[in-house]
């Protein structure tokens, strides 16, 4: 990790605790210090290695601007890193301050680290910012009362925290709490967080987080953003120049963290058009509101190369009463049309969210929400538990709504007035099952078939759940083959069993396999794939335009997989032709599509 010690730096005096330093003077612990000679460590603890912590870069820039003599070190960990080694890396070099960015996924870990750092670095002060800062501040309050205060919490944005914070920091005399709200600043603006060396050090092989706006036009009662009042959009020209810099480093993924990226549709479209015109393979992720799409946006999105954009659309529930109770003003029918239309474009990966445990959501209404979002045709249906986050408006309803939730982050819901604990547990496993079976590229044509039949998908998933729970599925690795076996078990009891097997074979082969697993083998009484290949080898012409030439005909047959299919299967995969004996030919090459499936040809008998 790089140090940012300035050459002009000079140690004037060593920091030592004076004998009175454990007593408060105007809310401040006084240290005998004229300047800071030990580094400040800025620490991000991410959920995964590929994630990065945007806050670190903002804090670094503000510290360098306001305290030019400090040496700063950036460190990033993941929540799964070895705890003791993390502690050693934090304590190494005797830092004067350690800054953490606390979020729901890392706040328990930060609490633990803060307590242990107090033991191994008694002179170091921990400074905690981020969405969970206030909660951790309250937890450390007890220690503060007992005279062991060595922690500062910063509420709000670092740009707004004010000069007193930096003066106290340089004087080694920090209070236990500072506050600053971006929307109360006189001149609303926030600078670009990154510099060139970040991309080769701290951001190497990681997703790049970027925000082009702050604030959210909605106020969902379960969300921390509901407390923020205001919206701010960076100038379009500034956004473009910052994105040019990011894209010059060819990142794999750029995640826009704007709470509602299409808040102003024309602006969103202008940014998309700019990004699409830039060369490269970067994937861009956006959080979108389903009710802010215009015809111009649809027209543009239809022209996109598949897989460049990924949208996350919060549906949360399709129960009107629930949506009203959580202040989410999105018409479910409108949202349905939006997702349906976006899915029809075939160019954008669509992720929709449902929340389990919202007010007035019963078992029946949650299942209805699930059926609705399944019918929308999104690629990924995330069904997360409601979290009763401290300081969100939903906390005021805890008693009235009978919310029981975990004491520790992420404060997941256990029971509500409308869903008892046993039902919550059943719906949780149901959601886990959907995550495993639906949210991947394994069974696309199978789900499409069920969607077209308007089958009660909730009932089908419950049947799969019963089979999975009986066989200990959740304790095993959820491989594509294991899930295939479970679906074949389900199919065995159905009238459309043969068609389902065909759909599952098609999905399996399009994922790139060049064999069929045991559960999908073709019945011995019918034509086997090897026989189909041999028949076609003899009957197909010596050359076929755009498919093979004389000199690579053998290679074509060696590398492709052939499978006889039924007429109905032909219709189900979108070929409206009538033909006897259609045959699939799965090629080794991948198509240019969202899931990059293997290409498929269809041969007909004359």
Q: Which is nearer to ligand SF4, 225 or 534 (CB)?
A: 225
Q: Which two tokens stand for residue 479?
A: 């491989």
Q: Which is nearer to ligand SF4, 314 or 332 (CB)?
A: 314
**What is the nearest approach in angstroms of ligand SF4 to the Cβ of residue 289?**
7
Calpha distance 145→124 (Å, rounded): 19
| Torsion from C-alpha of 189, 193, 195, 199, nearest 10 degrees | -150
The string over 252-278, giving b where at least 16 C-beta atoms fall within 10 Å of a residue's C-beta and e elsewhere, is: eebbbebbbbbbeeebbbebbeebeee
Provide the 3-class DSSP secondary structure of residue 131: coil
Provide the 3-class DSSP secondary structure of residue 85: helix
**What is the nearest approach in angstroms of ligand SF4 to the Cβ of residue 555?**
52
| Torsion from C-alpha of 541, 546, 552, 557, nearest 10 degrees | -70
Q: Which is nearer to ligand SF4, 260 or 431 (CB)?
A: 260
Name, in order, each residue with C-beta under 8 angstroms of 317's C-beta and a sequence gap of 6 or more: 323, 326, 332, 354, 355, 358, 361, 365, 366, 369
Q: Is residue 410 a contact point for ligand SF4 (CB under 6 A)?
A: no
Stretch that binds ligand SF4, among 27-35, 217-225, 240-248, 293-301 (CB under 6 A): 217-225
CB 113, CB 90: distance < 8 Å: yes
157 phi/psi in degrees, rounded to 5: -90, 145
- What part of residues 308-337 is at the interface with ligand SF4 (CB under 6 A)? 314
Q: Which is nearer to ligand SF4, 226 or 243 (CB)?
A: 226
**What is the nearest approach in angstroms of ligand SF4 to the Cβ of residue 360?**
17
Nearest to 246 by CA among 294, 287, 193, 299: 193
Nearest to 26 by CA among 240, 176, 227: 176
CA atoms within 13 A on the CB side of 196: 1
350 phi/psi in degrees, rounded to 5: -110, 130
Q: Is residue 219 a contact point for ligand SF4 (CB under 6 A)?
A: yes
Q: Is residue 579 a contact point for ligand SF4 (CB under 6 A)?
A: no
Q: Is residue 262 a contact point for ligand SF4 (CB under 6 A)?
A: no
Calpha distance 301→365 (Å, rounded): 33
CB 357, CB 421: distance < 8 Å: no
Please count the residues of this chain forming the interface with ligand SF4, following the rule CB under 6 A: 10
Stretch that binds ligand SF4, among 221-229, 293-301, 460-468, 472-480 (CB under 6 A): 221-229
**What is the nearest approach in angstroms of ligand SF4 to the Cβ of residue 304?**
24
Q: Is residue 259 a contact point for ligand SF4 (CB under 6 A)?
A: yes
Q: Which is nearer to ligand SF4, 260 or 445 (CB)?
A: 260
Please report the beta strands in 34-137, taking only residues with DSSP state E, as ranges in sequence order. Answer: 40-46, 72-78, 97-101, 125-129
Q: Which is nearer to ligand SF4, 128 or 330 (CB)?
A: 330
Q: Which is nearer to ligand SF4, 134 or 260 (CB)?
A: 260
Q: Is residue 223 a contact point for ligand SF4 (CB under 6 A)?
A: yes
Q: Is residue 226 a contact point for ligand SF4 (CB under 6 A)?
A: yes
**What is the nearest approach in angstroms of ligand SF4 to the Cβ of residue 211?**
12
Judged by CB under 6 A, which of 43, 71, 135, 220 binds ligand SF4? Answer: 220
Q: Is residue 216 a contact point for ligand SF4 (CB under 6 A)?
A: yes
Residue nearest to ligand SF4 (CB): 223
Stretch that binds ligand SF4, among 213-221, 246-254, 317-325, 548-556 (CB under 6 A): 213-221
Nearest to 58 by CA among 180, 175, 140, 222: 180
Provide the 3-class DSSP secondary structure of residue 123: coil
Name, in order, each residue with C-beta under 8 angstroms of 172's C-beta and a sequence gap of 6 or more: 15, 30, 31, 33, 36, 96
Calpha distance 141→158 (Å, rounded): 22
Q: Which is nearer to ligand SF4, 228 or 507 (CB)?
A: 228
**What is the nearest approach in angstroms of ligand SF4 to the Cβ of residue 253?**
20
Q: Which is nearer to ligand SF4, 327 or 462 (CB)?
A: 327
Strands 348-356 and 309-316 come out as parallel
Q: Is residue 349 a contact point for ligand SF4 (CB under 6 A)?
A: no
Judged by CB under 6 A, which of 66, 78, 108, 225 binds ligand SF4? Answer: 225
Q: Which is nearer to ligand SF4, 252 or 329 (CB)?
A: 329
Stretch that binds ligand SF4, among 94-102, 206-214, 219-227, 445-453 (CB under 6 A): 219-227
DSSP assignment letter at 330: -
Q: Is residue 351 a contact point for ligand SF4 (CB under 6 A)?
A: no
Q: Is residue 221 a contact point for ligand SF4 (CB under 6 A)?
A: no
**What is the nearest approach in angstroms of ligand SF4 to the Cβ of residue 330?**
9
Q: Which is nearer to ligand SF4, 225 or 347 (CB)?
A: 225
What does the binding site for ligand SF4 look like in residue numbers (CB under 6 A)?
216, 218-220, 223, 225-226, 259-260, 314
């Amino acid at each position: 990790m790089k140090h940012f010690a300035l050459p002009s730096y000079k140690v004037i005096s060593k920091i030592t605790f004076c004998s009175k330093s454990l007593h408060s003077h105007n809310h401040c612990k006084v240290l005998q210090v004229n300047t800071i000679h030990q580094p400040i460590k800025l620490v991000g603890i991410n959920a995964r290695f590929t994630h990065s912590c945007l806050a670190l870069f903002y804090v670094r820039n503000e510290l360098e601007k306001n305290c030019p003599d400090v040496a700063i070190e950036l460190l990033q960990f993941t929540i799964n890193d070895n705890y003791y080694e993390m502690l050693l890396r934090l304590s190494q070099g005797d830092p004067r301050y350690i800054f953490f960015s606390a979020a729901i996924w890392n706040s328990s870990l930060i609490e633990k680290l803060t307590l242990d750092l107090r033991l191994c670095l008694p002179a170091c002060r921990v400074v905690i910012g981020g969405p969970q800062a206030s909660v951790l501040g309250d937890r450390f309050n007890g220690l503060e009362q007992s005279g062991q205060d060595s922690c500062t919490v910063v509420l709000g944005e670092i740009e707004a925290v004010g000069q007193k914070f930096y003066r106290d920091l340089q004087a080694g005399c920090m209070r236990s709490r500072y506050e600053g709200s971006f929307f109360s600043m006189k001149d609303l603006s926030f600078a670009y967080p990154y510099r060139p060396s970040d991309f080769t050090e701290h951001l190497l092989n990681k997703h790049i987080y970027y925000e082009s706006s702050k604030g959210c036009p909605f106020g969902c009662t379960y969300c921390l953003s509901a407390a923020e009042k205001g919206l701010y959009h960076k100038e379009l020209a500034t956004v473009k120049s910052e994105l040019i810099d990011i894209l010059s480093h060819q990142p794999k993924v750029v995640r826009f963290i704007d709470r509602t990226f299409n808040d102003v549709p024309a602006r969103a479209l202008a940014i998309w058009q700019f990004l699409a015109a830039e060369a490269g393979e970067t994937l861009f992720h956006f959080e979108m509101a389903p009710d802010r799409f215009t015809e111009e946006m649809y027209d543009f999105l239809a022209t996109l190369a598949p897989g460049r954009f990924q949208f996350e659309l919060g549906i949360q529930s399709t129960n009107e009463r629930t949506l009203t109770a959580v202040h989410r003003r999105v018409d479910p029918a409108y949202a349905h049309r939006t997702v349906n239309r976006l899915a029809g474009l075939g160019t954008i990966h669509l992720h929709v969210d449902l929340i389990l445990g919202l007010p007035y959501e019963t078992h029946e209404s949650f299942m209805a929400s699930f059926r609705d979002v399944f019918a929308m045709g999104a690629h990924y249906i995330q069904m997360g538990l409601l979290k009763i986050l401290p300081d969100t408006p939903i906390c005021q309803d805890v008693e009235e709504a009978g919310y029981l939730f975990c004491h520790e982050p992420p404060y997941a819901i256990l029971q509500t007035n409308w869903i008892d604990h046993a039902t919550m547990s059943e719906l949780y496993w149901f959601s886990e099952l959907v995550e495993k079976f639906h949210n991947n590229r394994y069974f696309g044509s199978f789900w499409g078939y069920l969607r077209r039949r308007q089958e009660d998908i909730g009932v089908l998933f419950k049947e799969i759940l019963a089979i999975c729970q009986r066989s200990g599925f959740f304790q095993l690795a959820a491989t594509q083959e294991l899930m295939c076996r479970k679906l074949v078990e389900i199919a065995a009891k159905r009238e459309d069993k043969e068609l389902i097997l065909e759909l599952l074979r098609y999905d399996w082969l399009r994922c790139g396999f060049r064999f069929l697993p045991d559960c999908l083998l073709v019945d011995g009484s019918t034509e086997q794939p090897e026989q189909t290949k041999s028949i076609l080898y003899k009957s197909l012409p010596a050359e076929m335009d755009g498919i093979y030439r004389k000199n690579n005909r053998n290679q074509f047959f060696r590398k492709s997989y052939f499978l006889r299919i039924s007429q109905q299967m032909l219709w189900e995969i979108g070929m409206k032709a009538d033909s006897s004996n259609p045959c699939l030919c799965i090629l080794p090459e991948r198509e240019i599509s969202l899931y990059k499936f293997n290409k498929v040809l269809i041969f007909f008998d004359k």
